[in-house]
């Protein structure tokens, strides 16, 4: 019943914010929601593997991703307050109500124990995030929102077709919720062609959320236009929703004979994601788009890690966790950068160290962590992927991946260093920079610090949850 209480309270809070349109009340309710979400996460830790309200299970993978969301909730809401400080009450209330609904829907997607419930929550995230992407109400926001809603809806319709294929697999009277537990027993009896088609539909459909090739374009546009705190969520916890959806189906089908097929699809999609990320980052002219392509790169690595198997499974989860922490802090920093430089165009950016040293340090630390340079925890995860590739004798894939990662490292490094130290390439008058309190960077340093900690020490409770999530793949 706690699950029901959580969803009901979140909806009521959201409605109150929309209806009353009071700034102070909105702030109080938003912070209360964050506290509520953190409390709910603690509850889920204490009730691991328990099913509530028939449709939700606190399984290890879901709880792990819910914990990341809970961790990011307070900084996201805090940076949201700063971003919306000059908005009129209507825009202000829509933003925060939609943010609460987005976090609630993501929580539901993490904990859903059946395909249909998962699908409903994924669909609901599209609707709530659309309101956030459209926040600035300009032409670019309209275009990005249109593309996001249209492509996500098409993708989710495809995922739904994949779920219906699972329905064909089932074909029994009690199939209404398509729960993972009931499906797993039937998979081995089914024509593999059904499973392949279902997997392809689900993979393509949910890759709109994961931001993975072939549906990556939708999130790139959304990143570049959405308010930075929202980009932080789209790029991390919302992508994690896509990852979990694909991982659920992958785990479900792993006992069937199509495991090899799924691995090939994942590796191919991962390598193509890296290729596209490398290509576009080498010519990137917009800072937030560059970070979006960096997310594509990381999701590509996650797909490759899953496809490789072995230690790759653990590495995939590790990337998901650490990428969420590092990328969100970089996107939070984008909010401050835009107030100092008044632009995201790379040619117009420069001398950031002189203008805002705290922010420049976040950019440098963020570059080191997101590019998996030691002492970043992501270094460990990439090392695990490379080791898995070597163990599987996938030398060609290894060479291609390392080559593409080198291009990405080069592209991102020179651009970040340019912003921090060089003069702008163009004569650009950004106007007087706003004052940004260095205290705003505290949450970013904290999150980046956590990524570094993972390089030296991985807390046992996190490692346990990851191992439980991938237990079916362990020997």
Q: Judge if the upstream peptide bond of residue 214 is cis by omega within 30 degrees of 0.
A: yes
Stretch that binds other proteins, among 6-14, 63-71, 172-180, 322-330 (CB under 8 A): 172-180
Strand partners, 345: 286
Of 14, 44, 107, 126, the one binding other proteins (CB under 8 A) is: 126
Q: Reduced to 3 states, what is the DSSP secondary structure of residue 176?
A: coil
**Segments in 226-310 forming alpha helices (H):** 228-233, 239-253, 259-282, 287-308
CB of 191 vs other proteins, minimal distance in Å: 6
x-marked contacts with other proteins along 79-118 as a string, rule CB under 8 A: -------------------------------------x--
Q: Reduced to 3 states, what is the DSSP secondary structure of residue 50?
A: coil
> Does residue number 157 form part of the binding site for other proteins (CB under 8 A)?
yes
> Does residue number 164 form part of the binding site for other proteins (CB under 8 A)?
yes
> Does residue number 146 form part of the binding site for other proteins (CB under 8 A)?
yes
Of 31, 142, 450, 462, the one binding other proteins (CB under 8 A) is: 142
How far is the C-alpha of 12 from the C-alpha of 112, rounded, in Å? 21
Residue holding tokens 């809806």?
A: 153
Give 8 or 191: the residue with its C-beta nearer to other proteins: 191
Stretch that binds other proteins, among 16-24, 144-152, 330-338, 415-423 (CB under 8 A): 144-152
Cβ distance 273 to 297 under 8 Å?
A: yes
Give 82 or 197: the residue with its C-beta nearer to other proteins: 197
Give 78 or 293: the residue with its C-beta nearer to other proteins: 293
Of 47, 177, 182, 392, the one binding other proteins (CB under 8 A) is: 177
> Does residue number 144 form part of the binding site for other proteins (CB under 8 A)?
yes
The crossing angle, in degrees rounded to 10, of helices 115-133 and 139-170 is 180
CB of 96 vs other proteins, minimal distance in Å: 20
Number of residues that bind other proteins (CB under 8 A): 46
Cβ distance 205 to 158 under 8 Å?
A: yes
> Does residue number 59 form part of the binding site for other proteins (CB under 8 A)?
no
CA atoms within 13 A on the CB side of 437: 6
The answer for residues whose C-beta is within 8 angstroms of residue 407's C-beta and 6 or more apart is 278, 281, 282
Q: Reduced to 3 states, what is the DSSP secondary structure of residue 342?
A: coil
Stretch that binds other proteins, among 143-151, 316-324, 383-391, 412-420 (CB under 8 A): 143-151
Supply the DSSP string of 177-224, one letter for each residue.
Answer: T-BHHHHHTTGGGS-HHHHHHHHHHHHHHHHHHHT-TTSTHHHHHHHH
- How far apart are the two ends of the chain, measured CA to CA in Å? 36
> Does residue number 294 form part of the binding site for other proteins (CB under 8 A)?
no
Stretch that binds other proteins, among 119-127, 330-338, 411-419, 438-446 (CB under 8 A): 119-127
> Does residue number 167 form part of the binding site for other proteins (CB under 8 A)?
yes
> Does residue number 139 form part of the binding site for other proteins (CB under 8 A)?
yes
Q: What phi, psi does 104 have (nearest 5°)?
A: -65, -45
Q: Closest Cα partner for 274 from 252, 302, 248?
A: 302
Residues 266-285 within binding reach of other proteins (CB under 8 A): 280, 283-285
Give 40 or 160: the residue with its C-beta nearer to other proteins: 160
Residues 219-248 within binding reach of other proteins (CB under 8 A): 221, 224-225
* DSSP category for residue 57: E
> Does residue number 182 form part of the binding site for other proteins (CB under 8 A)?
no
Q: Closest Cα partner for 72 from 358, 400, 468, 443?
A: 443
> Does residue number 172 form part of the binding site for other proteins (CB under 8 A)?
yes
Give 59 or 221: the residue with its C-beta nearer to other proteins: 221
* DSSP category for residue 424: P
Of 12, 15, 32, 143, the one binding other proteins (CB under 8 A) is: 143
Q: Judge if the upstream peptide bond of residue 375 is cis by omega within 30 degrees of 0.
A: yes
x-marked contacts with other proteins along 183-212 as a string, rule CB under 8 A: --------x-xx--x---------------
How far is the C-alpha of 388 from the C-alpha of 386, rounded, in Å? 5
CB of 336 vs other proteins, minimal distance in Å: 23
Q: Reduced to 3 states, what is the DSSP secondary structure of residue 470?
A: coil
Sign for the CA dihedral angle at 155, 158, 163, 166 comes to: negative
Of 2, 16, 82, 120, the one binding other proteins (CB under 8 A) is: 120
Structure-token pair, residue 226? 């959405």
Where do contacts with other proteins occur on this chain (CB under 8 A)? Answer: 116, 119-120, 123, 126-127, 139-140, 142-147, 149-150, 153-154, 156-158, 160-161, 163-164, 167-168, 171-173, 175-177, 191, 193-194, 197, 221, 224-225, 280, 283-286, 289
């Amino acid at each position: 019943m706690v699950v029901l209480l959580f969803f009901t309270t979140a909806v009521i809070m959201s409605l109150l914010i929309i209806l009353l349109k009071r700034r102070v009340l909105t702030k109080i309710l938003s912070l209360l929601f964050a506290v509520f979400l953190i409390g709910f996460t603690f509850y889920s830790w204490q009730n691991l593997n328990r099913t509530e309200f028939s449709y939700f299970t606190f399984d290890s993978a879901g709880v792990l991703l819910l914990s990341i969301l809970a961790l990011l909730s307070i900084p996201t809401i805090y940076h949201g307050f700063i971003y919306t400080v000059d908005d009129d009450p209507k825009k202000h209330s829509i933003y925060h109500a939609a943010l609460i609904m987005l976090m609630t829907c993501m929580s539901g997607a993490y904990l859903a124990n059946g395909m249909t419930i998962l699908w409903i929550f994924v669909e609901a995230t599209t609707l709530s995030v659309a309101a956030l992407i459209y926040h600035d109400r300009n032409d670019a926001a309209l275009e990005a929102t249109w593309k996001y809603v249209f492509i996500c809806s098409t993708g989710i319709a495809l995922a739904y077709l994949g779920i219906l294929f699972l329905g064909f697999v089932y074909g029994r009277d009690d199939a209404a919720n398509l729960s993972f537990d009931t499906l797993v027993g039937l998979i081995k009896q089914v024509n593999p062609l059904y499973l392949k088609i279902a997997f392809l539909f689900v993979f393509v459909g949910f890759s709109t959320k994961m931001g993975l090739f072939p549906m990556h374009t939708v999130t790139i546009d959304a990143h570049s236009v959405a308010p930075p705190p929202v980009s932080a969520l789209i790029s991390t916890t919302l992508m994690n929703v896509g990852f979990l959806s694909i991982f659920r189906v992958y785990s479900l089908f792993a006992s069937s004979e199509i495991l090899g097929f799924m691995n090939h699809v994942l590796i191919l999609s991962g390598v193509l994601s890296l290729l596209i990320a490398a290509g576009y980052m080498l010519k990137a002219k917009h800072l937030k788009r560059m970070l979006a392509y960096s997310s594509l790169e990381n999701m590509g690595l996650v797909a490759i890690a899953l496809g490789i198997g072995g230690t790759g499974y653990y590495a995939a989860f590790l990337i998901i966790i650490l990428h969420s922490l590092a990328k969100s802090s970089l996107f939070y920093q984008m909010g401050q950068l835009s107030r100092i430089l008044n632009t995201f165009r790379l040619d117009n950016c420069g001398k950031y160290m002189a203008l805002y040293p705290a922010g420049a340090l976040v950019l440098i630390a963020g570059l080191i962590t997101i590019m998996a340079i030691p002492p970043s925890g992501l270094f460990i995860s990439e090392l695990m992927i490379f080791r898995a590739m070597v163990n599987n004798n996938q030398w060609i894939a290894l060479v291609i991946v390392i080559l593409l990662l080198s291009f990405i490292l080069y592209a991102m490094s020179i651009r970040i260093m340019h912003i921090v130290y060089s003069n702008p390439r163009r004569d650009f008058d950004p106007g007087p920079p706003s004052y940004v309190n260095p205290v705003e960077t505290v949450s970013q340093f904290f999150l980046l610090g956590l990524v570094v900690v993972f390089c030296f020490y991985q807390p046992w409770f996190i490692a346990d949850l990851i191992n439980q999530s991938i237990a079916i793949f362990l020997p």
